[in-house]
Structure 1
Amino acid sequence: MDQIKLTQFSHGGGCGCKIAPAVLSKLLAHAPAGLVPPDLLVGTETADDAAVYRLNDRQAIVATTDFFTPIVDDPYDFGRIAATNALSDVYAMGGRPIMALAIVGMPIDKLPPEVIGRILEGGASVCRDAGIPIAGGHSIDVLEPIYGLVGLGVVDPAQVKTNAGAKAGDVLILTKPLGIGILSAGLKKGLLEKADYAAMLHWTTLLNRVGMHLAGMAGVHAVTDVTGFGLAGHLLEICRGSNLTASVSFGEVPTIDAALRLVRDGIATGASTRNWASYGESIRFAPEAPEWQRKLVTDPQTSGGLLIACAPDAVDEVLAAIRAEQGSDGRVIGRMEVGEPLLRIV
């Protein structure tokens, strides 16, 4: 079992295997318009993190699904990362997870039952940490290993946090450092030290449960989690949903040390190139900015942090909540401004 490397079965790992934003837009353009009942508070309009459906004046259901191919070789770690990533969408809406359903696709003729079992154990361990059961699921026999969850949660309809509520003057806060995609590329090339892998595992298995606390903060206007489209892509979704410009100070963007070293040496994922091709025309970089900075802001994050737009007078409260919940500091990286939906990085 120890000889099997899960990443050898996947053409792209973690959120790096997401369909590129530009391609996804073309696909969705051909999708027929569906029923939009008045109690569907959040649907597909602004590419938000999860759907939200109002049950009554005090309760709404948050529903999401997320799954991907292996980003690491260890099956238990893969299960943990995938489950943490899936539940992040519930937290990003301000929701409290209540249960999950497992999504399992495995090449049964290539992976022994004990390997598959370890993947499921990893996912179950994260759900226990989140205080929820895995109450069912679905499995199929496929060519590449796939694992993830349907995440279900609850939230007060009046406290839903979307990616479309930012206001001019809002401060942007990021709760986790960037670099997961770069580390995954380094892992495939055998370039990660033990400490580098430990850092990667720490951040990708850290639940974004601070989102539940953000729900009750009136000064928090918009929230999204940073995943496969990178920091730039998900911030642009806030810009478009809120009809504002974002300004980010690159020097303030937190980055995992090993990822910074690797990206400066030219290590990056193909997904970062696809991301830039999809939305690069909406980004204004300083002319002298080196190529590796572009690779970093477009780096696909698997189980990345929350990106928060809040009023200036709410910053201290938000940072304190992040520190209390995850034991590390969030970082102020920029602000929202009046202007067309684009991103300036200085």
Structure 2
Amino acid sequence: MRGLNQHHDPAVIVGSATSDDAAVYQMTPDTALVQTLDFFTPIVDDPYLFGQIAATNSLSDVYAMGGKPITAMNIMGVPTDQLTLEQINLILKGGADKVVEAECAMVGGHTVQNPEPLYGLSVTGVVHPDRMMSNEGAKPGDVLVLSKPIGTGIISTAIKRGIATGAMIDASVDVMRTLNTPGATIAGEGLCQAATDVTGFGLLGHLANICKSSQVSAQLNTADIPLVDPDVLELIQQGCVPGGSKKNREMAEPMTRIEAGVEDHFMTLVTDAQTSGGLLLCVPPAHVDRVLEILREENALCAAIVGEVLPAEADGTRVVLA
């Protein structure tokens, strides 16, 4: 959006400048709107699962800001000469079922013809302006907590190569279609001010965005990072790395310091591009136990402490991999 003419409205309290997951617009002293949209092409063959994953991914941006989704609208492009009406309906049904699970109202949408299928949602949520989470709120000493395991990008590549096991595929799909609802609860109790969801830039890339906006550094402890499947590291060694993940690594290397003893495949792991990943929360130490409790109560796929926020380093290092 660099160079575009924009109207500057003081009610916009989170815009595009901080690379946050959604925009936040303050309506009243107690209420702000959270707005986002996202869509992508199919990453699974099953149309219903594709709809579920795409909708979950879109809703996640609101949860990552601490918001509660209230309305959603479908965004869809379809090649009508390749998809049947039944397949199109299954995509929409998958999305609608996730919107209902989020206790959010589906209020319409827009569809166009497109050479390949694409689907997602435009989502509006609400949050208290003083309780929202963003990339700017991290403080040295905060504990990094992750709510879903990582490795979906690597497994997706293994699926394309025909070497992924059924267990890997099932675990990856479960990760991608699990809602990040704990974000709204955690923010509502004022337990956390900085968070993001882990998607296309990978765990390290999204953490680096937090570090940049908050003017801090952070450490990731590789031994504590949960994996979608225990064989994900073996897949990396077999070269199952998406092109987007390779680009993520190239971008991340100049701002990352890898401590002695950390094996190279961990750098690939933490830069793996995720689809509909978990929440990465920067939690003050006094609130860690309650945050972990909420994650367990709301059936998060994991509640893993994976590192900590550090003071900014003079050499520009954003993330230390230990």
Following superposition of structure 1 onto structure 2, how do residues 1-346 of structure 1 map, counting pairs within 5 Å?
28-29=1-2, 31-257=3-229, 258-286=231-259, 288-340=261-313, 342-346=318-322
C-alpha displacement of 1:328: 4.1
Letter in 2 for 1:208: N
Is the contact made by 1:176 and 1:304 (CA closer than 8 Å) also made in structure 2? yes
Letter in 2 for 1:157: P
Is the contact made by 2:132 and 2:193 (CA closer than 8 Å) also made in structure 1? no
Find the aligned partners of 1:156 and 1:281 in 2 and give their Cα distance.
37
Is the contact made by 2:143 and 2:307 (CA closer than 8 Å) also made in structure 1? yes
Comparing 128-137 and 89-98, the one that deviates more: 128-137
C-alpha displacement of 1:218: 3.3
Find the aligned partners of 1:289 and 1:185 in 2 and give their Cα distance.
24
Give the TM-score of the pair, scaled to structure 2: 0.95
Comparing 288-297 and 331-340, the one that deviates more: 288-297
Find the aligned partners of 2:31 and 2:23 in 1 and give their Cα distance.
14
C-alpha displacement of 1:144: 1.7
Letter in 1 for 2:320: R
More helix by share: 1
SS in 1 for 2:188: coil
| Runs (5+) with no aligned partner, structure 1 | 1-27
C-alpha displacement of 1:159: 0.8
C-alpha displacement of 1:327: 4.9
Deviations, residues 120-139 of structure 1 (Å, cap 9, x unaligned): 11111111111122211111
Deviations, residues 145-185 of structure 1 (Å, cap 9, x unaligned): 11000011111111111111001111111111000101111
Find the aligned partners of 2:281 and 2:153 in 1 and give their Cα distance.
21
Find the aligned partners of 1:60 and 1:219 in 2 and give their Cα distance.
18
Letter in 2 for 1:322: L
Letter in 2 for 1:293: F
C-alpha displacement of 1:254: 0.9
Letter in 2 for 1:252: D
CA RMSD of aligned residues (A): 1.4
Is the contact made by 2:149 and 2:302 (CA closer than 8 Å) also made in structure 1? no
| Runs (5+) with no aligned partner, structure 2 | none
Is the contact made by 1:167 and 1:221 (CA closer than 8 Å) also made in structure 2? no
Deviations, residues 50-100 of structure 1 (Å, cap 9, x unaligned): 001111111111100011111111111000000000000000111001010
C-alpha displacement of 1:259: 2.5
Deviations, residues 1-21 of structure 1 (Å, cap 9, x unaligned): xxxxxxxxxxxxxxxxxxxxx
SS in 2 for 1:220: coil
SS in 2 for 1:336: strand
Letter in 1 for 2:117: P
Comparing 276-285 and 160-169, the one that deviates more: 276-285
* Alignment coverage as a number of residue pairs: 318
Find the aligned partners of 1:121 and 1:248 in 2 and give their Cα distance.
38
Find the aligned partners of 2:147 and 2:247 in 1 and give their Cα distance.
25
Give the TM-score of the pair, scaled to structure 1: 0.89
